[in-house]
Structure 1
Amino acid sequence: MFEFISGKVVESGPAHVVLENNGLGYFVNISLTTYTCLKELKETSLYIHENIREDAYTLYGFHSIDERELFRHLISVSGIGANTARMMLSSLPPDELKVSILSGNANQLKGIKGIGLKTAQRVIVDLKDKLGKESIDEKLFTDSDNTVREEALSALVMLGFAKAASQKAVDKILSSQPDCRVEQIIKQALKML
């Protein structure tokens, strides 16, 4: 099994990348999230998931281990194949996708192409406990350079509010009250949302 492949980016597109490593070119399927991270790079490393079937041997690559783990959780759900999981990771950033699953937001999942209401509900039921045991957004809560704005925003997103609306509310509060504490920002934002 491959853990990762490092190499020169020979070709890339929104759905795939070709990595050259020691004279071999690896065709790797990627999500839009990964594409965004590597579209300007000449060399990169991708964490790999191998999908081996009777008729195909396919590689899926991810910029981060967290994205690969979420992909593996998604394909463990009945009715979700590798391409559907990749579509889900392309439609929503991994952190937002986790929050949608943990908060039981079936409507947001249903908005992803190829995901109906029953599939969205199945994803939530199957993965809510698995993802709940993992730390949701550790980096947002444990970084030493974390700002009050980021903490308030991450809390609102984890409560199930849309990221864009939460950002507007938090920014509006901070523009009028720059010395506001996190708890105060969240309370005021809840009244606005």
Structure 2
Amino acid sequence: MIEYIKGDITELTPATAVIECGGVGYEANISLNTFSAIQNLSRTKLYIYEAIREDAHVLYGFADKQERELFLLLISVSGIGGNTARMILSALTPAELCNVISSGNDKLLKTVKGIGLKTAQRIIVDLKDKIAALGLGNASGAAELPMNLQNEIVDEAVAALTMLGFPAAASQKVVHAILKEEPDSPVEKVIKLALKRL
């Protein structure tokens, strides 16, 4: 079991990070929260969850242990896989997710793509006590940095959304609409808003 990978960030998109450690580049799927936390760093330490399937070994990387803990709780819920859990952790910060689950706010959870009302309710029922027992929910959201390079933001946001499985044309339309309303939004905020609209 890989606990963490520490090394140079050689490639970074809002959906994946490649960390070079001992001459080997490890690609990890990341959430927007982790992207926000590491985007201005040259070196990082990512806590890892390794999903071993018949057709692939997939690494999921997290900037802190709390986010990984929440990811593990989410994938323990029937019907929630790694990509859906990552989608939830991209739409909500760990603190927001803990508050949504503890307060039983299934309406907010349902705004995440791929989460219907039944799944949202199942997540809340399954995880409410576990989150309370672990004392999770004290994390603060990562600070957002203003970026003025709109075309770069559009490209990065659309690339991240297509990696998450959304059609490029629809992603582009939504990203443009968001930037029209909020021109100063950093890329991670644009993607978060897009996830709620797609």
TM-score (norm. length: structure 1): 0.71
* Residue in 2 that maps onto 1:21: 21
C-alpha distance in structure 1 between counterparts of 2:34 and 2:74, whole Å: 17
Pairs aligned (count): 140
Cα distance change on mapping 1:138 and 1:92 into 2, 3 Å: closer
Residue of structure 1 in register with 2:88 after alignment:
88
Separation in structure 2 between the aligned mates of residue 6 and residue 19 of structure 1, nearest angstrom? 7
Residue 38 in 1 paired to residue 73 in 2? no
2:107 partner SS = helix
Query: Does structure 1 conserve the Cα–Cα contact (< 8 Å) formed by 2:96 and 2:137?
Result: no
Q: Hey, what does 2:116 align to over in structure 1?
A: 116
In 2, Cα distance between equivalents of 1:70 and 1:80: 12
Does the 8 A contact of 2:16 with 2:29 survive in 1?
A: yes
Distance 2:44 2:139 in 1: 22
Aligned equivalent of 2:97 = 97
In the aligned structure 2, how far is the partner of 1:138 from the partner of 1:83?
A: 24
Query: Once the two structures are aligned, what percentage of the paired residues are identical?
Result: 56
Q: Determine helix, strand or coil for the equivalent of 2:27.
A: strand
The one-letter code of the counterpart of 2:19 is L
Structure with the larger RCO, 1 or 2 (CA within 8 Å, 6+ apart): 2
Give how far 1:139 is off: 6.6
Deviation at 1:63, TM superposition (A): 0.3
For the aligned residue pairs, the C-alpha RMSD in angstroms reads: 1.1
1:43-87 per-position Cα deviation (integer Å, ceiling 9, x unaligned):
000000000011110000000000000000000000000000000
Give the secondary structure class of the aligned counterpart of 1:5. strand
Q: Which SS does the other structure have where 1:113 is aligned?
A: coil
Given that 1:99 and 1:136 are in contact with CA atoms closer than 8 Å, whether structure 2 keeps it comes out as: no
Contact between 2:88 and 2:112, CA under 8 Å: does it hold in 1? yes
Deviations 1:2-26 (A, max 9, x none): 0000010000000000000111000
Paired residue type of 2:46: L
Distance 1:17 1:58 in 2: 12
Q: Which residue of 1 aligns with 2:129?
A: 129
- CA displacement at 1:132 relative to structure 2: 1.4
Letter in 2 for 1:89: L
Q: Distance in 2 between matches of 1:136 and 1:8?
A: 29
Ranges in structure 1 where 5+ consecutive residues have no aligned partner = 141-193
Amino acid of the structure 2 residue aligned with 1:17 = A
- Partners of 2:94 and 2:137 within 8 A in 1: no
TM-score (norm 2): 0.69
Q: What is the CA-CA distance between 1:137 and the residue it aligns to?
A: 3.5
Return the alpha-carbon distance in structure 1 between the equivalents of residues 115 and 13 of structure 2: 24
How far apart in 2 are the matches of 1:43 and 1:110? Answer: 35
| Residue type at the aligned position of 1:111 | T
User: Which residue number corresponds to residue 75 of structure 1?
Assistant: 75
Alpha-carbon distance, 1:134 to partner: 1.8
Residue 117 of structure 1 aligns with an amino acid whose one-letter code is L
